[in-house]
Amino acid sequence: MAQLLPLEEQIAAMKATWPELAPRNIDRRLRSARWVGRVRAQHCWYTIEIRYQIGSMPQVRVLAPILVRLPGNEEGELPHVYPPSNDPTLCLFDPRTGEWDASMALAHTIVLWTLDWLTCYELWLMTGKWTGGGRHAGDSVPISTENAQ
């Protein structure tokens, strides 16, 4: 198993790479942090929130603007998110395939994957088709990571 990246290193990497994502609610006892800031995908600016506790999967939410739903869309009214629908968390990777682990810097993975997700979201709003790959919640897990996303 890979060695966990300490919270201080996560904070330092985020500050160096994404200074616009301000650390909030740093709790060294719980080894958790929250970052909030603005990022730009292709066409829009978004305010995002990243919550992370060492040993858990990071959670990313879009705080503003409110994500548009397309009821009746074959991909789902808002694809590649985790519930609840009124406060969705972005689905950035498949945790069952080992694409991300706690040895990886959020600044070099999760933020970039968030920008990719937002770009796919903008295209989905224009076309109704999700181009970001991945699998839907009901899909089976690939047998090997070579076939994943």
Q: What is the CATH number of the domain that holds 76?
A: 3.10.110
Name which of 45, 46, 50 is nearest 35 in CA terms: 50
Closest CA to 48 of 30, 67, 75: 67
Tens-digit pLDDT profile for residues 7-56: 999 999 999 999 999 999 898 889 999 999 999 999 999 999 999 999 89
Q: Is the pLDDT of residue 105 over 50?
A: yes
In a domain, residue 143? The reply is no
Domain that holds residue 63: 7-133
DSSP state of 90: E
- Which DSSP helix (H) or strand (E) runs through 25? strand 22-27
Confidence of residue 85 (pLDDT cuts 50, 70, 90): confident
How many domains does the structure of the chain reveal? 1
pTM, rounded to two decimals: 0.88
Please check whether residue 146 lies inside any domain of the structure.
no
